[in-house]
Chains A and B, each alone.
Chain A
Amino acid sequence: MRWRRDFVPPALLIVVLILGWYFVARVSGLRSFILPTPLDVFRAGWETRGLLLNAIGTTLLATGIGLMLALVAGIGIAALVDFWSLAHRALYPILVVSQTIQILAIAPILIIWFGFGLTPTVLIVVLFCFFPLAISTADGLTSSDPELIALLRAMGANKRQIWRIVRLPSALPSFFSGLRMAVTYSVVAATIGEWVGGSPGLGLYMLRSKNALATDQVFVAMFITSFLSIALFMLVYGIERLTLPWYHSAQRTEQWEGPGIY
């Protein structure tokens, strides 16, 4: 069964790792604020559940708004760069430079400009996420088969038809790769924004817990952040499979899974 084949090995490994952690934490005799046991972490999460739920809500709100804006910006930039080669030459280097800027330095500046609250957090999410979206969408748009475009031209298609029939659909797999990357970054990006003083979400919870030496709570926040990222990733993957059934069709994937390739 496919489900069993795909999910049982990682689940088993995770259980083994948690047991190992528990064992090390108990045997080493380290104190709880240095290395809490998994049980301590679970208890800490349960005890602060009210606070956590609020924090999760705030973080998800910032993440969601940030992702939407990043989508608009990313696709917009990709389309601009695609339609207009001057924009391509002018923008591409700046896009790359934008990713080399230290977010940790930019974040406090954003807070100075926009005050404490949702806005700087959202902006940091956008800064993290628009880049993979823009690059992957732009690359996707240029990845369509030139012979296919020639065929459509020979059939008498105009530019708009070629864009709709060939270029847009062939960009989608690449776009979704970018989106998967973006959503994986997004939650971490939001917590970074909150850590440096943005909205009162998981990042702030983490910061306060760290300052109080409540290491178990730091772990709680870490796990929840991971969990949210994974959930978003799976959600996007699910949407991708529904949107691109041809790309994930059995005939296609079998070609990758054939024996002897790896």
Chain B
Amino acid sequence: MTIPRIEFRHISKTFFGIAHAVPALQDISLKVMPGEFVTIIGASGSGKSTLFNLCVGLIEPDAGEILIDGEIPQNRTGMVGYMPQRDLLLPWRSVLDNVLLPLEIQGIPRKESRQRAFDMLPHFGLEGFENEYPSALSGGMRQRAALLRTWLMGRSTLLLDEPFGALDALTRKELQDWLLRVWQEFGRTVMFITHDVEEAVYLADRVIVLSTRPGVVRRELKVDLPRPRRQRMIAEHRFGILVRGLLADLGVDV
């Protein structure tokens, strides 16, 4: 039996505000298998980002266990690749020094880490831009730089929190296809948060629908569309049925 890359077992988390206790996640159990592309969708407030913050070790669950490669680590920080919603590139560092950040933190010699970065720059469409400051890049390029930074952490699982949320529709589609190509070529495991139903279906092997306050897994949807995916599939009947199902689950389809 294959060991899941990530496994949540009965995870619950409540936040305490000034006047209210806000249950963010309640009894979440889910597995992500090696090489899988899982998208997580839910309205805002469904605890999607909380799920990621738990997984990367920024916060601890009130109840439940998080397994990474079949084990419960003491300290989860640095064990999975993580990309938050904002690109969070350091404005005072060049693109190259930004993407090298995780390797610098891991204490890998600069010469070696530079080599790794230069090997990947073309795949991320950043060749020739390594010496620019982030302020000189377009939104799409900044996002790709942030992804490369996540990639160079060298972890087998990547958690991407709405990475394309702030991009215009065309750039977003372009980056979706690009992400799928890179994913298939290098075979990593991806968990991808989005609030865009089409995006969730288009990218995923499996879509997980979270409900709002408290976030519980409302449904898991297997996407059996062939790969490689093509943007024209969005107009196909099977795609439409999947999207319709998801809209109903999210309570947006009236």
Contact = CB atoms under 8 A, between A and B. Distances in A.
B92 A154 contact: no
Interface string B48-61: 00000100111000
B135 A252 contact: yes
Contacts of B77: 153-156
Contacts of A244: 92
Contacts of B91: 246-247, 252
Contacts, number: 65
Query: Chain A interface residue count: which class?
Result: 20 to 34
B92 A155 contact: no
A172 B93 CA distance: 14
B84 A169 contact: no
B136 interface: yes
Contacts of A161: 104-105
A38 to B, nearest CB: 45
Main secondary structure of the interface of A (DSSP, over half): helix
Main secondary structure of the interface of B (DSSP, over half): loop
A170 B91 CA distance: 9
A145 interface: yes
Interface residues of B, number: 24
Contact of A147 (B78, B88, B135): B88
B67 interface: no
A156 B75 CA distance: 9
B164 interface: no
A251 B86 contact: no
Nearest to B83: A151
Contacts of A157: 78, 105
A160 to B, nearest CB: 11
A152 B78 CA distance: 9
B102 interface: yes
B178 interface: no
A150 interface: yes
Nearest to B59: A150
Contacts of A153: 57-58, 77
Contacts of B53: 150
A-B pairs, top 4 by smallest CB distance, nearest first, are: A156-B78, A154-B56, A251-B135, A246-B92
